[in-house]
Amino acid sequence: MKVAGHDGCGCFPTGRHYPGIAHLLSAVVRWIAEEFSADTPWDDIPIALLDTETTGVDASIDRVIEVGIVVGRGGMPIARHNWLINPGVPIPKEASAIHGIFDADVADKPRFAEVAQEIAEALAMSVPGAYNANFDKNFVAMEFARAQYKSPTGTLPPALRKEVDWVDPLVWARELQRDEKSKALGEVAARLGISLENAHRASDDAEAALNVLYALGKDARVPKTYGAFVQEQRRLAETQADARRRWKS
């Protein structure tokens, strides 16, 4: 059977498999972390929901000032991490107005390079995720690149591998709550009865996003296995991006 990511079906032009080799055929599911089997229930896998607070919105020039990671498994958080980081540049007033972090708050905090190994360890052996994942993924990738990070084991955590898709609760909120106007994390969480008291602080947002993921994941339309979840999320994300491009044009 051909699935997303399978190159060629090993078939006659009629679509039937060659006789005697069906046992050699295997479907390859792409964009998943190799540590976990595609047919494992995704909520049985450790998922590291990450959130960043930054000096701006452009990962190429702006810097991370806070990282929060909440690891979940089996529908509940099992570990929490948080780092305030000195970005080495002034924090614009516009950014501070959103997250409430000021220069004085990070003046004595470590630079990203000093905590890069700790962050990598918190992300290890977990499927990465974030609400509006591309934003945080890009910032984290840029900070690790600036730090010239090299894993002491030679193996990068899934979050730092380009071929691994991040879990993104926003994609599912856009699909499952499509009739609702706002898809902001706080609004989606409120509709699901999930508390978010300290919005725009990294670990609080990360935990709320994790809880949103588990709540949305109970919907029958959400695939239950890791591989199918990633494939469907990617399809939905592409469909949503196409719809936004058509709307803007």
**Digit-coded pLDDT (tens) for 122-135:** 999 999 999 999 99
Q: Which CATH superfamily is domain 31-248 in?
A: Ribonuclease H-like superfamily/Ribonuclease H (3.30.420.10)
The whole-chain average pLDDT of the chain stands at 91
pLDDT of residue 212: 98
The reported pTM is 0.87
CA distance readout (Å), 202 to 52, 79, 81, 164: 5, 14, 9, 22
**Per-residue confidence at 29, pLDDT binned at 50, 70, 90?**
confident
**Per-residue confidence at 27, pLDDT binned at 50, 70, 90?**
low
Backbone angles phi, psi at 93, to 5 degrees: -60, -35
- pLDDT above 90 covers a percentage of the chain that reads 86
Q: Is residue 18 scored above 60 in pLDDT?
A: no
Give the tokens for residue 98: 């959103």
DSSP-assigned letters across all residues of 118-167:
HHHHHHTTSEEE-TTHHHHHHHHHHHHHHTT---TTS---GGG-TTSPPB
Count the Cβ atoms, other than its own, within 10 Å of residue 51: 28
pLDDT of residue 9: 41
pLDDT of residue 25: 37
**Digit-coded pLDDT (tens) for 185-201:** 999 999 999 999 999 99
- pLDDT above 70 covers a percentage of the chain that reads 89
Domain boundaries, the chain: 1-30, 31-248
Q: Is residue 20 scored above 90 in pLDDT?
A: no
